[in-house]
Amino acid sequence: MRGALLALGLALGIGVPVFWVLDKQVRKEFEQLAWQVPTRVYARPLRLEPGLRLDAPTLELELIAAAYRKDAGGDLPGTYSRDRDRFHIGSRSFTDLDGPVPAQRLEVTLSGGRVAALRDRRADRKLDSARIDPARIATLYGNVQEERRLVQLKEVPSLLVTGLQAVEDRDFKHHHGIDPWGMMRAMWVNVREGELEQGASTLTQQLVRSLFLTREKRWSRKFREIAYSVIIEARYDKQRILEAYLNQVYLGQQGNQTIHGVAAASEFWFGRELGSLRTEDMALMVGMIQGLRCTTRGANPRLPRRAATWC
């Protein structure tokens, strides 16, 4: 009993001041959380109208420059299909100088090097003119080269959110930052293998590590990660935590440019707006999050061949 009381006293005497300091630090950094978003430079929008001089190769070149993908139907935003001189184009919504321009499903018919007819396939009516979102011609970065598009949780497809939680953190809605049972399983694997093999990280822990900590495999880092996660869960609601995760998660790299957040990854990997991702695109993105988060262990006959889940 005396030993237990001594341990409790030490835990309170040391733990309370430590948590007080960490809570102050987390609140300061999380409440002032701000990401650097690059400045994008665009060309002029492509304006289409009957009689405009334009041939099929030039129109296709304009679409490719604007990161449109060739698709069988050309129905989804950011896609097109071509049948000789007839194009089906799913244009994206964008903001022009005179205000927002909605997405459309266009049919463009060319003849004799000119636009012969322009039709809105959704409303089944002829159009006098239409605009296609412009190609990006430059991206200007600040101190760090991070490609990112900030989104609110309501703008993320629900299937992507539920799929992410099912794969990465099934108890996200119910836990308080950590998964005790998962940590116990991971601890047993670590003891059995004789090294740090698993970490049982929740989405909150992954966010903490990405924002505040390094990826070094040390127990001290893991304890800080747990403390940060518990504090964030106590201070902020699940919606804000999940929204921060979706804007911060690492999803690839091209040279010195890192891709952060599901919106930037949607454009980078699939050439689509986040809201127009297909089911297979969202499934692949969830798999990429897990694959980029974890690393496969090297050949070691003593260890089983599986992905390390300490990350």
The residue-averaged pLDDT of 134-146 equals 80
Residues 157 and 255 in one domain: yes
Angle at 258 between CA 252 and CA 261, to 5 degrees: 70
Residues 154 and 58 in one domain: no
The residue-averaged pLDDT of 255-263 equals 87
Task: Answer whether residue 1 is part of any domain.
Answer: no
97-118, pLDDT tens digit by residue?
A: 889 999 999 999 999 999 999 9
Task: Answer whether residue 8 is part of any domain.
Answer: no
At residue 2, the 3 state secondary structure works out as helix
pLDDT of residue 307: 34
Alpha carbons 274 and 78: distance in angstroms, whole number: 11
50: left (phi over 0), alpha (psi -120 to 50) or beta: beta
Task: Answer whether residue 129 is part of any domain.
Answer: yes
277-291 in b/e form (b: 16+ CB < 10 A) is beeebbeebbebbee
Residues 226 and 301 in one domain: yes
Mean pLDDT, all residues of the chain: 81
Task: Answer whether residue 224 is part of any domain.
Answer: yes
Task: Answer whether residue 3 is part of any domain.
Answer: no
Alpha carbons 78 and 70: distance in angstroms, whole number: 9
Residue finishing a domain among 94, 113, 139: 139
* Contacts of the segment 74-80: beta carbons below 8 A, 24+ positions apart: 74/105, 75/105, 76/272, 76/276, 76/278, 77/103, 77/272, 77/273, 77/276, 78/271, 78/272, 78/273, 78/276, 79/272
Residues 214 and 249 in one domain: yes
Question: Which structural domain range is residue 96 located in?
Answer: 41-139
Task: Answer whether residue 274 is part of any domain.
Answer: yes
Q: Write the CATH number for 126.
A: 3.30.2060.10
Residues 19 and 135 in one domain: no
Residues 132 and 149 in one domain: no
pLDDT of residue 186: 62
Tokens for 163, please give them.
Answer: 């799929």
Amino acid letter, 159: L
Task: Determine which helix (DSSP H) or strand (DSSP E) holds 101, and give its type and residue range.
Answer: strand 99-101
Domain count, the chain: 2
pLDDT at 129 over 80: yes
Place of tokens 């670590």: 190
pLDDT band, very low/low/confident/very high, at 195 (cuts 50, 70, 90):
low
pLDDT band, very low/low/confident/very high, at 200 (cuts 50, 70, 90):
low
Instruction: Check residues 15 and 98 and name the one with the higher pLDDT.
Output: 98
Residues 122 and 189 in one domain: no
Residues 133 and 152 in one domain: no
Which is nearest to 267 in space by CA: 207, 254, 100? 254
217-241, pLDDT tens digit by residue?
A: 666 677 778 888 888 888 888 998 9
**Longest CA span, the chain:** 95
Q: Write the CATH number for 172.
A: 1.10.3810.10
Residue finishing a domain among 139, 172, 197: 139
pLDDT of residue 299: 32
Top-confidence range, 16-25, 184-193, 219-228: 219-228
The residue-averaged pLDDT of 260-283 equals 89
Alpha carbons 151 and 148: distance in angstroms, whole number: 10
Residues 135 and 149 in one domain: no
Task: Answer whether residue 5 is part of any domain.
Answer: no
pLDDT of residue 296: 36
Residue finishing a domain among 112, 139, 166: 139
